[in-house]
Amino acid sequence: MSLTISDLDKEIKALEEELKNFEYSLEGYLISTGNEELDMRLGGGIPVPNLLAIEGDHGTGKSLLAQQITYGAAKAGKRIVYITTESGIKELVIQTKKLSLDFTEEFLKGYIRILPVHMEGVRWARKVARELLHVLGNYMAYTKDDYDILVIDSFSVLAVYADTSVVLDFLTRARTMVKEGKLIILTIHPEVLPNEIMIRIRAIADSYIKLDFAMVGGKLIKVMKVIKLRGAGGPVDSTIAFDVDPAFGIKVVPLALAKA
Ligand SMILES: Nc1ncnc2c1ncn2[C@@H]1O[C@H](COP(=O)(O)OP(=O)(O)OP(=O)(O)O)[C@@H](O)[C@H]1O
Ligand SMILES: [Mg+2]
């Protein structure tokens, strides 16, 4: 049996398709949040690589969501750098444990590196504040072989005293890290950064989740609005209602139930 040109053509097309799928499987994967219900609503988990911006007012759950993802990633054997302006190392480990997001073991094994950045008083030293984000940008780039996921909670606290050019430069560098396969998570308090920077963050981020409070049926609940999620594994729920539960961390509440 001899091969015709059209057979060959088909074979080449099939090979190309196979290669494309192979490349895709090399490039992207989904990280479970360690919370099945939340994963399902997000189309299977958080897609990696990704630049994920989590925006919301005080107490809406930015840190919690970042910790929930950190927990899931740690359980999946990923290496995480968690930069926090909000707590010390011990505090963070204890606080997450209280919410059943216990990553003590992974922390002790060195899979999670927690870097507390204390900002108290920094506002009086603008020069230091300005430099911090630049230094963190260097750290992010120089240690890229040592982590899969980098969290900055809160990015807005670090960015607020920096010059616009420094913030924009940092975002460009974060994008470069994403091109290298990383998941970068930035939490942002919307009102503290200049509009110009907020617009840039929302545009440059692959994924953008906005957290808010909502009154449903006389009850105050938290709401996660998934504005975009690049590389999602399946259909994404654009509005996810949730509660904070010591037994679950994030506990997704069906909107219908929240209304009841
Ligand atoms: N152990 C817990 N049990 C129940 N609720 C909790 C627990 N720990 C935290 N919470 C609640 O989780 C919510 C989310 O807090 P989180 O720290 O994630 O908010 P945030 O958006 O990071 O706020 P901020 O801008 O102040 O950093 C808060 O409303 C808090 O009351
Ligand atoms: Mg927080």
70 within a domain of the structure (yes/no) = yes
> Which ligand has an atom closest to residue 191 CA?
1
- Model confidence pLDDT, tens digit, residues 100-119: 999 999 999 999 999 999 87
- Express each pLDDT in 183-195 by its tens digit: 999 999 998 999 9
CA 83 / ligand 1 centre spacing (Å): 17
Asked if the structure places residue 244 within a domain, the reply is yes
What is the pTM assigned to this prediction? 0.89
Answer yes or no: is 202 within a domain: yes
* Ligand 1 nearest-atom number relative to CA 64: 18
9, part of any domain: no
The answer to whether residue 81 is domain-embedded is yes
Position 57 scores a pLDDT of: 96
Beta carbon of 54 within 6 Å of any ligand 1 atom: no
- How many angstroms does the Cα of residue 189 sit away from the middle of ligand 2? 9
- For ligand 1, whether the C-beta of 68 sits within 6 Å is no
Residues whose CB is less than 8 angstroms from the CB of residue 220 and which lie 6 or more positions away in sequence, other chains included:
213, 214
Give the distance (Å) from ligand 1 centre to CA of residue 39.
20
Any domain includes 129:
yes
Total domains, the chain: 1
The CATH number given to whatever domain includes residue 84 is: 3.40.50.300
First to last CA, the chain: 69
The secondary structure of 20-80 as a DSSP string is: HHHHHHHH-EEE--S-HHHHHHTTSSEEESEEEEEEE-TTSSHHHHHHHHHHHHHHTT--E
The parts of the chain modelled with pLDDT lower than 70 are: 1-3, 18-27, 121-125, 256-260
Alpha-helical segments (H) within the chain: 5-27, 36-41, 62-75, 89-98, 104-109, 126-142, 155-159, 164-179, 195-204, 255-259
Confirm whether 197 is domain-assigned.
Answer: yes
Please give the residue range of the domain that contains residue 65: 29-259
